[in-house]
């Protein structure tokens, strides 16, 4: 797999950022199968991340499944565009905006390079599959609003009165799940008959063990929290339990030392 050059990605709209994970895959299926809309997926290739190959294989697997079982939906999905993380050019103002917001709201580094990618490609309406109940809500405050999509329907985006750091980082993005919680999305996908497809054709673990979810990385922990713990194998649940036990023992040890020192 060769990463695309940014010149091949210029001036796109309605890009859906796809990682092979549950949230972004649900959005791809929602648009292609339920909304019967065109989908323009993009994946950022981080060759240093252990799960990258698994994520790409998972996305390829879903496309093969759709081609065989739902060819009409498959035909609405453009070939995924792959961009190497290292190929995204620097942007001093965006990076400084991210640093300031990171210190205030503890947001991840992906928002820095995703904003730089959207800026470099002059993208608009880039779909981020995040939920409004997370860390972005206090950072956006009342500056997010419902907007009309160019191809019909509505989504959510930052308004023009948002503070400059937020606009620099998120002004090119749309948030289709903003007024939906993860638990609501899981229930909705089940009603729409997409649960079985999502279970078989998504990936989430950052540090797989023997090809299976580790149970201890951040995405694995969120899967359990979001009611999708059945996706974690028994070995992963055992690792998670052991990790929690070590944390409790460590906390008790620190408290004991603190009391002794006092």
Question: Rounded CA gap, 79 and 75, in Å?
Answer: 10
Question: Rounded CA gap, 16 and 14, in Å?
Answer: 6
| Model pTM above 0.75 | yes
Q: What is the pLDDT of residues 183-207, one digit of tens each?
A: 899 999 999 999 999 999 998 888 8
Enter the tokens of residue 48: 């240093």
Enter the tokens of residue 208: 């797989």
Give the CA radius of gyration of the chain. 20
Q: In what order do the strands lie in the sheet with 81-84?
A: 81-84, 40-45, 15-17, 126-127, 173-174
Question: Rounded CA gap, 45 and 244, in Å?
Answer: 32
Mean pLDDT of the chain: 88
Helices 182-191 and 22-29 pack at an angle, to 10 degrees, of 40
Ramachandran region of residue 70, left (φ > 0), alpha (ψ -120 to 50) or beta?
beta
Q: Which region among 82-91, 169-178, 182-191, 242-251 has the lowest average model confidence (pLDDT)?
A: 242-251
Strand, coil or helix: 176: coil
């Amino acid at each position: 797999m060769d990463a695309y050059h940014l010149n091949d990605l210029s001036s796109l709209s309605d890009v859906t950022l796809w990682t092979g994970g549950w949230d972004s895959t649900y959005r791809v299926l929602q648009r292609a199968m339920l909304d019967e809309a065109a989908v323009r997926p993009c994946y950022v290739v981080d060759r240093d991340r252990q799960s990258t190959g698994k994520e790409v294989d998972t996305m390829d697997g879903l496309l093969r499944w759709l081609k065989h079982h739902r060819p009409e939906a498959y035909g609405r999905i453009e070939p995924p565009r792959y961009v190497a993380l290292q190929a995204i050019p620097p942007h001093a103002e965006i990076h400084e905006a991210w640093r300031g917001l990171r210190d205030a709201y503890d947001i991840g580094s992906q928002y820095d390079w995703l904003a730089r990618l959207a800026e470099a490609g002059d993208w608009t309406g880039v779909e981020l599959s995040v939920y409004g109940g997370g860390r972005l809500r206090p950072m956006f405050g009342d500056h997010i609003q419902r907007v009309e999509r160019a191809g019909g329907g509505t989504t959510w985006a930052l308004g023009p009165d948002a503070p400059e750091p937020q606009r620099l980082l998120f002004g090119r993005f749309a948030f289709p799940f903003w007024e939906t919680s993860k638990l609501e999305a899981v229930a909705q996908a089940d009603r729409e008959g997409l649960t079985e497809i999502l279970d078989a054709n998504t990936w989430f673990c950052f540090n797989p063990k023997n090809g299976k979810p580790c149970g201890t990385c951040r995405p694995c922990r969120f899967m359990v929290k979001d009611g999708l713990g059945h996706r974690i194998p028994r070995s992963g649940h055992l690792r998670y339990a052991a990790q929690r036990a070590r944390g409790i023992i460590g906390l008790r040890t620190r408290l004991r030392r603190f009391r002794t020192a006092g």
